[in-house]
Structure 1
Amino acid sequence: MRQIKSRFSLKRQLGRGKQIAGMTTTIAGGLRTAQRIGAFQEPPRETLPRYIQTFCRKMTGSFGIKVIPVEPVPQHHGLWVSNHVSWMDIPVVGSVSPAFFLSKAEIGDWPIFGKLAHAAGTVFIQRGSGDAGSVASQIANFLTEGFSVVFFPEATTTDGKKMKRIHGTLLQAAIDADVPIQPMVLAYVNKDGTLSDKLPYYGKLTMKESLKKVLDSKDVTAYVLPLEPIDPKDRSKSELTDLLQKRMQEGLAELHARVLTPSS
């Protein structure tokens, strides 16, 4: 029995090592590409989305996660939103959408990941006394320049089974910039058609624990379903919040109905 456990442990460690090596190779490749296209000096936002999508596809692949859009994902300009299950959501969403991500300004000072974030054209938000209205204004300015942004309106991660109440403050950016809100929903599904319990990163789970669970997961597919866009014209922020909540709840239920086995 002890010998069997030892073999299982060795196999698991080898599997983790292979995935970490793949992730490291992807990051190194991303840094080389960023250097080649001059993204460290001035991110070429007009052409960056295709590079970001390629990088994100390789990153999800290095963890063994296959990304499948259930319907074609539109590539139009707008304020993109998604439900939030895991840190893996970032490369999953980034692999299919043309949007840039939001980040706290201090992350830009991180080694390696900060450099990648800068090269990827990340929108670094300067927060002052927790002023969400100021953040919405910064996003609106970016949207007005013709570039898309994506954020997670639940403001926290979940187990992926249902939507939490969304926070609509940042939807003001779509009103101010007069761009559509493009919602999408995602789900991590095992080979047997059940929701993955290894990908969700929520509750008291630490990042180290979550990383181990993801590395040990097998045959998980990230399904993405784009939903009907919402025109903010003649709608208040409150109306947009309610409509988005309803659309994403119904969209997640539809996605589950399409990709999960009936028993799950």
Structure 2
Amino acid sequence: MSHSKPGLSLKKQFSRSKQIVGMTTTMAGGLRAAQRIGAFKNPPREKLPRYIQAFCRKMVGSFGIKVVEVEPVQQYHGLWVSNHVSWMDIPVVGTVSPAFFLSKAEIGEWPIFGKLAYAAGTVFIQRGSGDAGSVAAQIAEFLRQGFSVIFFPEATTTDGSKIKRIHGKLLQAAIDADVPVRAMVIAYVNKDGSLSQELPYYGKLTMKQSLKKVLDTKNVTAYVLPLEAIDPQGRSKSELTDLLQQHMQEGLAELHARVLS
């Protein structure tokens, strides 16, 4: 009886180590692939989505999480948005969407992660000149070039049970570039059909605590439901924001009805 606790601890340590090795191997493979296709010098954006999707799929898999598209996610151009539950959302949406991520410019200077982000064609946003208006203009220019972008309009993470009030300033980019807003919703679900309490990264949880919780969690599936595209034509930014809010709330309720027990 007294030996069961250390045994469990050893099992946990082994499991965590195995996942960290898998994550490290995936990152090393990503760096090699980026080198092979010349992504460090000039990311070939036309080719990149399939490489990003393969990398993200392996990254999610290294944590033992399975990604399931409840309906097929069509690989169309647009301004993509998703609800935000966890740092795991990034590889999950990267697995299913053809869009490029947004990042603060300073992330590009980080060792390893910065290199990978640059090689993945991340849209680095210059915030020095000011506000969300200038960020929306940068995104719109990127969209006009035919490349999709994804961001999290709640601007913060949640426990996964609801959609918080979304911030619509960046939706101006879809209006200016005249591209559809393509939303998706994510739910992390345990084997018993309940909503995962371990995957959400929000509140006072630190990144280290969250990482440990995720590493120790087993049999979680990330379900993704793509929603009908919204045409921004003839809509103001506030109208588009209200419509997207309703769209995502209804979409998350539908997803929960379909995948939770």
Pick the TM interval, shorter chain.
over 0.9
Aligned to 2:38: 38
Deviations 1:196-252 (A, max 9, x none): 111000000000000000000000000000000000000000000000000000000
Classify the secondary structure of the residue corresponding to 1:2.
coil
Aligned letter for 1:206? T
1:173 counterpart letter in structure 2? A
Q: Following the alignment from structure 1 to structure 2, what is the Cα–Cα distance between the partners of residues 186 and 130?
A: 31
Cα separation, 2, equivalents of 1:250 and 1:128:
36
Q: What amino acid maps onto 2:227 in structure 1?
A: L
Greater shift, 122-131 or 88-97, is seen at: 122-131
What number of residue pairs does the alignment pair up? 261
Instruction: Structure 1: give runs of 5+ residues left out of the alignment.
Output: none
> How far apart in 1 are the matches of 2:120 and 2:242?
32
Q: CA deviation at 1:128?
A: 2.5
1:116-141 deviations in Å (ceiling 9; x for gaps): 00000000000036500000000000
Please state if 1:165 is matched with 2:162: no
Q: Distance in 1 between matches of 2:245 and 2:43?
A: 33
Residue by residue over 1:134-164, the C-alpha shift from the partner in whole angstroms, topping out at 9 and shown as x without a partner, is 0000000000000000000000000000000
Q: Distance in 2 between matches of 1:209 and 1:148?
A: 33
SS in 2 for 1:176: helix
CA distance in 2, matches of 1:202, 1:2: 35
User: Aligned-pair distance for 1:69?
Assistant: 0.3
Q: Does residue 114 of structure 2 align to residue 100 of structure 1?
A: no
Counterpart for residue 148 of structure 1 = 148
Deviations along 1:3-43, whole A, 9 cap, x unmatched?
10000000000000000000000000000000000000000
Aligned residue in 2 for 1:217:
217
Which position in structure 1 is the counterpart of 2:54?
54
Give the deviation of 1:189 after TM superposition.
0.2
- SS at 1:214's partner residue? helix
TM-score by length of 1: 0.98
Gap runs ≥5 in structure 2:
none
Matches within 5 A, 1:70-109: 70-109=70-109
What amino acid does structure 2 have at the position aligned with 1:118?
A: Y
Distance in structure 2 (CA, Å) of the matches to 1:225 and 1:44:
29
Aligned to 2:3, what secondary structure does the other structure show? helix
